[in-house]
Structure 1
Amino acid sequence: FVLLNNDVEVPLTWIEPVIAAMQADESIAAAQPKIMQYQNKSMFEYAGAAGGYMDKLGYVFCRGRVFEILEEDKQQYDDTREVFWASGACFFVKSAAFREVGGFDENFFAHMEEIGLCWRLQLSGYKIIAVGSAYVNHLGGSTLQKADAQKTFLNFRNSLIMLLKNMPAHTLWWFILTRSFLDLLSSLFFLMNAKTDYFMAVHRAHVQFYFHFGKWFKLRKTVKRNIDHSQLKGIYKGSIIYQHFIMGKQYFKDL
């Protein structure tokens, strides 16, 4: 399958390099090209950039995009490498692997569903890659605008569901408690900046998550765990929040 957002512009040779890379290794289940901005085609785009990563606390970022900091494409990410997740804006996935792990989680509605899928694919023993020799241009914000409280709600809620569903049992509760505390700090940051709707969105996400906790917890039984979590690729061993907001590191190469 090639799953392509309707706000993506494709060049003439966008598909062949990705297909060739996937066919070269049968263990590769999903892939993405570089995701560039539609308005400024020399800049990486927020939704995937040059391949997705996750830090030790479950926060996601990309080669070419750390939080709101976007890099200019200077061919620094033109290689093909394994990543933690591939962008849903232009998502290549082998149909057999997609069906094997249950496809996208219908509970998510929107946002982070490709990350959850890639996580389950890796746990099943598959690889996820970013192919730097291909690119597409993404407008972004066609489902929900970036500055939208509903998007904030979905991102926070879906992140918690994804952690509960996929994290190994021996670290699960530490992760949930830590993320809940950090989400509280995020909500207070929104409140101090007079973003009351975002403050409420974070708390609404937690209310819904904990209200349906039993439902989300049962999803753990659907996840195949063929390899140990420590073997997953694309996980940054540090904290991206600490490195970015405390240490001031803005670019992927600085991590």
Structure 2
Amino acid sequence: MTGTVALVTVSYFSEDDVLSCLASVPAAAASTARSGLELCVVNNAASDPLSALEGTGATVLTPGANLGYGGAVNFAAATLGPEVEWILVTNPDVQFEPGSIDELMRVATGDERIGVVGPRVTNDDGTIYPSARDLPSLTSGAGHAVLHRVWPANPWSKRYLRADKSATTGTDPVAAGWLSGSCMLVRRAAFDAVDGFDHRFFMYFEDVDLAERLGLAGYSVLYVPTATVMHAGGTSTRSHSAAMLKAHHHSAYLYLAKRYHEWYYLPVRVALRVGLGLRSIVGARRA
């Protein structure tokens, strides 16, 4: 198991969550730490001093503005030294199970063409979160994005949910189209080769887009069911649900428009923009 790992998390008034996340790391990374493990927190809330992080060993970076999730990770990645070969991207409200980071590293270092691996993610009630999926098609992705909240049983959402790779009962790594950005271990060389996250995705879909570009660059995307983390689920965004819903729909449109950019898809892109825009308005009124 070789190569220094840098854990990068992003805080937006999430100090307590960051502390819990960092406290879970030593038991999760006993072997990894011997090769080198750096802790990096990007503070997207400039008015939050994060004073409780003093003494944790974490480097706190303050860009002076809210860069969004992917933009903040890019900001951190640009500061890392050449000795860092792996970037462990994690939400602040993730807690690592013992041995989980070591297990991710064991799988990731097994083949140089592996670009990113992700763990089994459990919700705080113990259920498994669908953190690994096939890439969404135009129909399933658009249908799910527009209709899943108002018509959960729609056929496009059913097709989207059937693409869940995290439902596996086996222990072998499973190839996936994309992995949840709540926790993913990315090969630094692969991350740099595709220019990191697309900063235009302020929140949501930045993980889908990154995994797709890694796959197109020839790297493998693997779900590792033998490594487990617990994700409390968006504690920094719960009080901003209307804004986050708008961000989700914007990112859904951006991803699908980016993937289906050819001129003959213009009518589809227009329909997507209108449909997701209306969905955002309805969602904001209900929030």
1:115 to 173, 195, 208: 208
Residues in 2 aligned to 1:171 and 1:36: alpha-carbon distance in whole angstroms: 41
Could you give the per-residue CA deviations for residues 152-211 of structure 1, whole angstroms, max 9, x where no partner exists? 1111111222223333637643542453354367458x47xxx6256xxxxxxxxxxxxx
- SS of the residue corresponding to residue 31 of structure 1 reads strand
Residues in 1 aligned to 2:174 and 2:271: alpha-carbon distance in whole angstroms: 30
Instruction: Look up the match of 2:232.
Output: 139
TM-aligned CA deviation for residue 11 of structure 1: 1.3
Is the aligned partner of 1:154 residue 2:238?
no
2:136 to 55, 58, 67: 55
Change beyond 3 A, Cα 1:179–1:54: farther
TM-score by length of 1: 0.61
- SS of the residue corresponding to residue 55 of structure 1 reads coil
Higher RCO, 1 vs 2 (CA within 8 Å, ≥6 residues apart)? 1
TM-aligned CA deviation for residue 18 of structure 1: 1.9
Instruction: Look up the match of 1:102.
Output: 195
TM-aligned CA deviation for residue 142 of structure 1: 2.5
- Identity among equivalent positions (%) equals 23
Q: Are the aligned partners of 2:249 and 2:280 in contact in 1 as well (CA < 8 Å)?
A: no
2:174 to 60, 68, 81: 81
Paired AA for residue 125 in structure 1: G
Query: Unpaired segments of 5 or more residues in structure 2?
Result: 1-86, 146-156
Q: Are the aligned partners of 1:33 and 1:132 in contact in 2 as well (CA < 8 Å)?
A: yes
Paired AA for residue 55 in structure 1: P
1:29 to 107, 115, 118: 115
Q: Are the aligned partners of 1:50 and 1:77 in contact in 2 as well (CA < 8 Å)?
A: no
For residues 161-180 of structure 1, the aligned pairs below 5 Å read 161-167=254-260, 169=262, 172-173=265-266, 175-180=268-273
Between the two proteins, the alignment pairs up a number of residues equal to: 184
Q: CA RMSD in A?
A: 3.3
Could you give the per-residue CA deviations for residues 54-102 of structure 1, whole angstroms, max 9, x where no partner exists? 33223579xxx97899x9x986264421111111111110001111111
- Greater Cα radius of gyration, structure 1 or 2: 2
Paired AA for residue 247 in structure 2: L
Residues in 1 aligned to 2:241 and 2:119: alpha-carbon distance in whole angstroms: 27
- SS of the residue corresponding to residue 238 of structure 2 reads coil
- SS of the residue corresponding to residue 164 of structure 1 reads helix
- SS of the residue corresponding to residue 15 of structure 1 reads helix
1:12 to 89, 95, 98: 98
Query: Unpaired segments of 5 or more residues in structure 1?
Result: 199-255
- SS of the residue corresponding to residue 3 of structure 1 reads strand
Is the aligned partner of 1:125 residue 2:218?
yes
Change beyond 3 A, Cα 1:74–1:55: closer
- SS of the residue corresponding to residue 162 of structure 1 reads helix
Q: Are the aligned partners of 1:30 and 1:129 in contact in 2 as well (CA < 8 Å)?
A: yes
TM-score by length of 2: 0.55
Q: Are the aligned partners of 1:33 and 1:130 in contact in 2 as well (CA < 8 Å)?
A: yes
Residues in 2 aligned to 1:25 and 1:162: alpha-carbon distance in whole angstroms: 29
Could you give the per-residue CA deviations for residues 211-242 of structure 1, whole angstroms, max 9, x where no partner exists? xxxxxxxxxxxxxxxxxxxxxxxxxxxxxxxx
Instruction: Look up the match of 1:44.
Output: 128
Q: Are the aligned partners of 1:36 and 1:138 in contact in 2 as well (CA < 8 Å)?
A: yes
TM-aligned CA deviation for residue 147 of structure 1: 7.7
